[in-house]
Amino acid sequence: MRVRRALAARGALAAAMVALVASCAGPPRVQFATRTVTPAQPVVAAGAATTAPPTAGGLLPAAGTAATGTGPGAAGGAPGSKGVIKIGTILALQGGQRDLGEPVLRTTQAFVDELNARGGVAGYTLQLIAYNACLTCQDEALTAARRLVEQDHVFALVNTYPMVIAFQSVIPYLVDHDIPLIQGGAENQTSDALSPVNFATAPSGLFYARFLSVMAARYAHIKRVAISYLDVPSEANGLAILRRELAAEGVQVVDEEPIGAAEEAVTNMDSAVIRMRTKGADGVLATNPVVLIFGRLAAQRQGWNAPWVGEAAWSALVESGCGVTCDDVVLTDTAGLSYIDRDTPQMRQYLDTMARRYPGGQISGHTLAAWAGMQLFTEILGRVGAPDPAAFLDALEHTTNLDLGTTSPITFGPDRHLGGTASTLLKLSGGHYVRASDPLDFGEAAP
C-alpha cells in the first residue's frame, strides 16, 4: 500500500480551499429540508421494452414497477419491509463554508429521497443523517462521527470527501468500528483512500502520475515544464515519480515551486509565476486544483498565456472564479467521472433529478461525485442484501469493471480502494467547462 501514497488524487477543489474559509461554530446536527419527490418514470432507450431492468448503479424504477436484473433491488424484499438503514455524512454546512458542503449534501439527500420513492434498496429504505463540522475542525468532526456511530447507529458514512483535514481524526475511528466510508472522491491517499474501510470512485495517485505527464506532453504540448504543488507530504512525496514520468514523455522539468499552503496560492502566486517564466518554462503542471486556478490568474495578470495542466479542478468555483481567463489554457480532468454529456440512463437520472429538485443548482464534478458515491453504495448494498459491514467491504474489494454510467469503469481490490480506471479531459470555453476528450487510460506509473 505504501506505493499508492506517492501522489494524492484530487476529488474536490473545495477540499484544497480549506484556508479560505473559517468558523467552527454552530450546532452539529443539520436538519436539511427535503422536497416532495414525485418519482420520475425510468429512462428507457428508444425502442426498448418498458420493462427493461435497471442498470448498474442506477436508481430503481418508480414504485410499482417490477425490479429485475442486477441493480440495487435484485436482493428482493417489499419496499421498506426490512426496515431502515441509516447512513451519515459530515460536511461544512454553516457560515461561509456552506457553499462547499451544501451542494454535496443536497445531491446525496436527493439520491436518497428518489431511491426511497422508488422502493428503497433490497427491501430497506435509507435515512441520511447529516452533521456540520468545519473543514479544518478535527475535534468537531470526530464528535460528529462518534454521534453518528454510537447514538444514531449508522451503517456507513457517505460523501465526506471535502473534509480531508477534518477527517484525519475520523478515519482511524471508523476503522476501529468497522464503519464503511463510501464516496465519489478522495483527497488524500495516506489518511483517507488507503483506509481499509474507505472506497472512492476516483483514480489512484499512480494513475495520475502517468496521466498528468501525458496530459502535459501530448495534449498541452509542453516541452519545458514548471511543477507547482502544495508543500505537504501527500504532494511533495510524489514528485520523484512525476519527474520520471515527465522525462519518459520527453518533458524537461525546469522549475519546481512549492506553495506553503492553500491561502498562499490564493494570495501570492505572482512571485512563483515570475520564477517559472525566468527559468524558461513553457507550461505549468499543478498537482493541486487551487494552485492550478490561482496560478493561472497570476499568470494572466502578467500576460503569460502558457498552458496550465492539473488534476480534478472540475468545480463551479473554477467557472465563477477563473471563467474566461482560463479559456483554452487550463486543461484538467473529471477525476474518474464521466462528463455530463454522456448519454446513459444513470447520467440522465442525475441531471433530471437535479433539474427537478434544484432548478439552476450546481451541476459540477462536486455534485456528480456525490451522486456517484451513492450509486456505488446502493449497488453494493443491493448485491449484499443486508447491512453487514464485513460482507459489504468484501463485496467492494471484489468489484471489477463496474460501470455506473456516470464514472469510468471501477475496479477495487484488497490494496486498491481508489477504483477509477480512466478520466476525461476538460477545458474551459466561454468560462464554462466542456469535454476535451473521450475517457483516457494510459495505465499507472510504476511505484
Nearest to 380 by CA among 396, 369, 368: 396
1 located within any domain: no
Residues 352 and 315 placed together within one structural domain of the fold: no
Contact indicator for 82, 124 with CB cutoff of 8 Å: yes
- What is the distance of C-alpha 383 from the center of its chain? 23
3-state SS assignment for residue 68: coil
Give CA–CA dist 147/149, Å, rounded: 5
8 A C-beta contact, residue 249 and residue 214? yes
- 27 and 103 in a common domain: yes
Bridge partners (DSSP) of residue 239 are none
Alpha helix positions (H), 63-121: 98-117
Identify whether residues 271 and 377 lie together within a single domain. no
Give me the DSSP letters along 229-275.
Answer: EESSHHHHTTHHHHHHHHHHTT-EEEEEEEESSHHHHHH--HHHHHH
In a domain, 295, yes or no: yes
In a domain, 17, yes or no: yes
- Give 232 or 218, the one with higher predicted confidence: 218
pLDDT digits (tens, 9 = 90+) for 353-408: 999 999 988 899 999 999 999 999 999 999 999 999 999 999 999 999 999 999 99
Q: State whether 37 and 169 are in the same domain.
A: yes
User: For the chain, what is the mean pLDDT?
Assistant: 84
Please check whether residues 288 and 301 belong to one and the same domain.
yes
2 is a domain residue:
no
Task: Tell me: do 193 and 63 sit in the same domain.
Answer: yes
Kindly state the cell numbers that stand for 19. 484556508
CA 380, CA 390: separation in Å to the nearest integer? 12
In-domain check, residue 4 = no
- Distance of alpha carbon 139 from alpha carbon 157, whole angstroms: 17
Residue 163 near residue 135 (C-beta atoms within 8 A)? yes
Distance CA 313, CA 295 (A): 13
Q: Are 57 and 402 in contact (CB under 8 A)?
A: yes
Q: What is the pLDDT of residue 58?
A: 65
pLDDT tens digits for 417-427? 999 999 999 99
31 and 167 both lie in a single domain: yes
pLDDT in the model for residue 105 = 96
Gap between the Cα atoms of 58 and 115, Å rounded: 9
Pairing of strands 124-132, 83-91: parallel
* Residue position matching grid coordinates 426496515: 83
Assess whether 325 and 191 both reside in one domain.
no
pLDDT of residue 78: 74
Classify residue 58 by its DSSP letter.
P
pLDDT band at 199; cut points 50, 70, 90 = very high
Distance in angstroms between the alpha carbons of the first and the last residue of the chain = 10
Q: How many domains does the chain have?
A: 2
Exposed / middle / buried, residue 22 (Cβ in 10 Å: 0-12, 13-18, 19+): middle
Q: What is the pTM of this model?
A: 0.86
**At 91, is the secondary structure helix, strand, or coil?**
strand
Task: Identify whether residues 310 and 359 lie together within a single domain.
Answer: no
Q: Which domain holds residue 160?
A: 12-42+54-202+340-419
- What are the b/e assignments for 236-267, b being 16+ CB within 10 Å? eebbebbbebbeebebebbbbbbbeebebbbe
Distance CA 276, CA 278 (A): 6
Q: What average pLDDT score do residues 109-118 get?
A: 94
Backbone angles phi, psi at 386, to 5 degrees: -160, 155
Residue 44 pLDDT > 70? no
Q: Are residues 181 and 298 in the same domain?
A: no
pLDDT of the residue at 50: 30
Residue 410's alpha-carbon distances to 39, 349, 372, 439, in angstroms, are 28, 19, 11, 13
Q: Tell me: pLDDT of 300 over 60.
A: yes
Task: Tell whether 47 is covered by a domain.
Answer: no
- Evaluate whether 245 touches 216 at the Cβ level (below 8 Å): no
Same domain, 234 and 322: yes
- Residue 195's pLDDT is what? 82
Task: Tell me if 328 is assigned to some domain.
Answer: yes
Q: Are residues 358 and 370 in the same domain?
A: yes
What DSSP designation does 56 have?
Answer: T
pLDDT tens per residue across span 65-102: 333 334 555 556 677 789 999 999 999 999 888 888 99
Q: Give the list of residues 6+ apart from residue 355 with CB closer than 8 angstroms, or none.
A: none
CA 399 to chain centre: 19
Is 49 part of a structural domain of the chain?
no
Arithmetic mean of pLDDT, 96-111: 93
Show the cell assigned to 408: 469510468
Phi, psi angle pair for 413, to nearest 5°: -160, 175
Whether the pLDDT of residue 176 is over 70: the answer is yes
pLDDT of res. 321: 87
Alpha-carbon gap, residue 20 to 392, rounded angstroms: 37
CATH code of the domain covering residue 333:
3.40.50.2300
- Enumerate the H helices of 283-364 as residue ranges: 289-301, 316-321, 345-357
Q: What is the DSSP letter of 148?
A: I
Please tell me the distance from the alpha carbon of residue 260 to that of residue 244, in angstroms, as a whole number: 24
Residue entry with cell 458514512 = 157
Mind listing the pLDDT tens digit for each residue in 3-42?
333 333 344 443 434 333 334 444 455 554 444 344 444 4
Residue 187's pLDDT is 55
**pLDDT score of 228 more than 80:** yes
Q: Looking up cell 473559517, which residue turns up?
A: 22
